[in-house]
Amino acid sequence: MPAEVKLRLGNLFDGPSDLIVLPCSSVGTVTGFVGRSLEHYSIPHPMADMQLGEVEILPFTGGENIAQYVAFAASVDGMTSSVEAIESIGRALAQFSLENSSVRSISAPLLGAGAGGLQSERVVAALRSGFIPHAPDGASLVIHVLHREVFDRLKGHRKHLGGQQQQKIRAFISHTSSDETAAEWVKQLALFLMDNGIQARLDRFHLRRGMDLPQWMCNELALANKVIVVCDKAYKQKAEGRIGGVGWETMIIQGDMASLPPDSTKYQVIVREEDLSAGLPAYLRAKYAFHARPSASPLVVQEELLKELLDLPLDERLESREFTV
């Protein structure tokens, strides 16, 4: 699926993303809200000498519950900004996503619309103009809007911004690599889904060294609108024994599943054992699972899963608080 820009009503720190963008001036000053955030999360201050439109990106050490990376965007010079600068910021964010496959969900505020004096509509159009042509397929720039009246105004203006509503599927794959064959099977599944427009998220592709593993899992599960659970005997044992990463995921998944309606199809289960019951954890027995026998070709299950993912309806719960531009 192509890259997209969306507007969301709410605070920049409301939910996890892969990269969070904080505004600053060309001399490195920040607003009170951003300053308090830097202090709270022990984020170093931005560079003191930046060009208008320049972006500085750092690992978000200690803030992995919010994002993997934090970016400072010089969106104001003195008390002014420019459409060209905001477009340059959008382009820089797209380029970083292009160079880092783990970064697909980017959160930013209305850069330049406060101290910079730019009209919100012009900010959105400039960010979209800089981001969309240069971002990789599947990348998403979410612009957070704090005030309902601004959000509603932008929502009414979206027909002039050139965007259309579309559903993006970000699928987190929960699994355990009991041996190289199992690891390769899951890798090929992820690659197949990526080739067919699904944002498949897999630890071997998207987990950076040094990151907090349980927090990364929490973030991925929160960001995913679909979760694919690939089970076998080893996965069942770890899930039921609450062992390792699978144990952490099991606790998080059970909590999430309990909050979903009975007819939810967010969780798709694949069992890789000749005997279905041998690889299915007790808490997933009520799920209608895909049976991927090791003796059979994986292509059939891959295609069936893809069909299931692509036929899913839009999440109506987000329609009033988020839209694509």
Closest to 292 (Cα-Cα) out of 209, 197, 175 = 175
Cβ 176 vs Cβ 160: under 8 Å? no
Written as six digits, the tokens of 91 are 């382009």
The CATH number of domain 170-310 is 3.40.50.10140: yes
Percent of the chain with pLDDT over 90: 37
Two domains, one topology: 4-164 and 170-310: no
Residue 320 in this model has a pLDDT that exceeds 70: no
Q: Whole-structure pTM over 0.75, yes or no?
A: no
Reduced to 3 DSSP states, what percent helix, strand and coil does the chain have, rounded to the nearest 5?
40, 20, 40
CATH of domain 4-164: 3.40.220.10
Domain ranges, ordered by start, for the chain: 4-164, 170-310
Please state, in angstroms and rounded to a whole number, the distance separating the CA atoms of residues 62 and 226: 27
Name the pLDDT band for 307 (thresholds 50, 70, 90): confident
Q: Which residue has the higher pLDDT, 226 or 167?
A: 226
